[in-house]
Each structure stands twice: as structure tokens, then as C-alpha cells.
Amino acid sequence: MRLGLPARIFATLLKILPRRIGDKMWRWWYQRLAKAKAWGDFGFMNYGFIDDNPPILELEDESDRLFIQLYHMNIRDIELHGKKVLEVGSGRGGGANWIARTYSPSQLVALDYSGAAVKLCNRMYGRQNNLTFIEGNSMNLSFEDESFDVVYNVESSHCYSDMSQFIQEAHRVLRQGGHLAWTDFRDQKTMQSIHESFLSIGFKIEEKADITPEVVAALDLVSDDKKSRIKKGTGPIIRRSFETFAGVRGTPVYDSFTNGELGYFRYLLKK
């Protein structure tokens, strides 16, 4: 399955350009996503998760259930009440808003590389008292050592040019005994390297799982809706790139999940 022309050019440039330029390209892409009409005021861009132990949701959240379930799966084994929490890669802010409302951390700082995304999140969710959205770099966090009880990261790190640097930064800003909750997709070889980085940097692995089937099942359920939104909000030239990013059926990302080239993983780590 072929990518759209803009996506093919983008992917090629990311492979050949220096890391710092690649980071700037990802930032440009996420700035564009934040402003795109395809998502409107939709608060989530993740692939979703089919949960055999689903959370009880408020009626207002039911329409976002599959996306919320990915966040719930990632953080459900950690105590968040009264804790100081950092989300790295907060995107359109729906996950941070739900966690801040549902689990009552004393403070949830939601950081994203895209200033446009941060502005959007503040417009949509800025009234939540224990929630703050800020612009920042996942590989150079602007916080003092041991500032947070919990750091979580959902479907964002595949964009980072230096995953080990992100893990190092997450470890640095966590208090002793704090947790990093991480979930994202990778090929098996890269995942093994990340697994080794978690250990060498000093984390203890409390839980790990391959959750690819549950993510693909969610993609199957939301694919038509995503495709419809993208068709309404984008022109034909860029449309295929948006569909690929969203993982709708028939795109290279979706096919890579179903043929085993990519897996979706979850790790719960303790400092």
C-alpha cells in the first residue's frame, strides 16, 4: 500500500536529515495537525484500545471511549490521586483532561512540542484547575530533578529522534519510587533496544505487554469515522498523509500492524 506523496517525501527526509532537523520537521507536522480542520475540536488522535476491563465513563466521555481506554490501560496500575504528574506528548489534550478530572492528581502538567497544540488545549481545557498545558521538548525537559511522582507517555515517542535521551530525562525528573507509564508502537528490533535502554538507565520493569491485537481492534471500529473526518477537513493532496497518520484501514501503518512488521507495546516502569 502506497503512502501519499507528501508522506513519502516526509518519511524520506526524516531518514537522511540530521536528528535536530528531523525534530523540527515533526514539530512542523504537529503544528499543522493542531490547526487542521480534519479533527475540529476532537481531543484525541491516538489509535484507541479495546479493553476487557473497561473504565466507567461519564456520559460526556462515551463518544471518546476507545481513545480514553488507551490512556486508562497505560496508567491504571498507578496511584495518581494527590500526586504530581507529567504527561509528555499531550497532543490535543483529551487524555490529560480526562485523567485530571477522573484521578484527581494534585497537579498534571501536560507538555507538547507543538505550540499550536498547546494553544488549542488551553482553549478547550484551560478551565481545569489541576491541569496546565505547556510547550516543551521531551528530550530536554525544563524541570528540576525529582519533580514528579508519575510521568506518562502515550503514542508520542515514535516521533522522538533520541528515545534514550527521553528515557534519561523521564528518569531524571521522577522522584525515587516514581513511575513511568509508556505505550507506543515499534518494530521488534527497535523495541528490544528500547527495552535495554529502560534497564540501563535505571528503571525496573514492573509490567510489559504486547497490546497490538487490542489496538488493531480499536482501529477497525474507528477507521470509517476517522476517514470521514479527514475527507471533510482536508484536500485530496494531503488527505492520504492524514489517513496514514491516523492509521485507518488500508494504510501502511495499519497493514504493518496486521502483518507483524509493527507491534504496539505497553511498559510500566519504576525508578
Which tens digits make up the pLDDT trace of 136-162? 999 999 999 999 999 999 999 988 889
Domain 5-270 matching CATH 3.90.1640.30: the answer reads no
Integer Cα distance of 243 and 261 in angstroms: 19
Beta bridge partner(s), residue 151: 86, 180
Dihedral over Cα of 34, 39, 43, 49: its sign: negative
Instruction: Report the share of the chain in percent with pLDDT over 70.
Output: 84
Asked if 109 and 132 touch (Cβ cutoff 8 Å), the reply is yes
User: What pLDDT does 20 receive?
Assistant: 55
Whole-number pLDDT of residue 253: 86
| Alpha carbon distance 56, 230 (integer Å) | 29
CA angle 81, 183, 54 (to 5 degrees): 60
Band (251; pLDDT cuts 50, 70, 90): confident
**Average pLDDT of every residue of the chain:** 86
| Statement: residue 13 has pLDDT above 80 | no
Q: Is residue 38 over pLDDT 50?
A: no
Residues 6+ positions from 194 with CB-CB distance below 8 Å: 163, 167, 186
Pairing of strands 84-88, 148-154: parallel
Query: Domain ranges in the chain?
Result: 5-270
Residue 3 has a pLDDT of 39
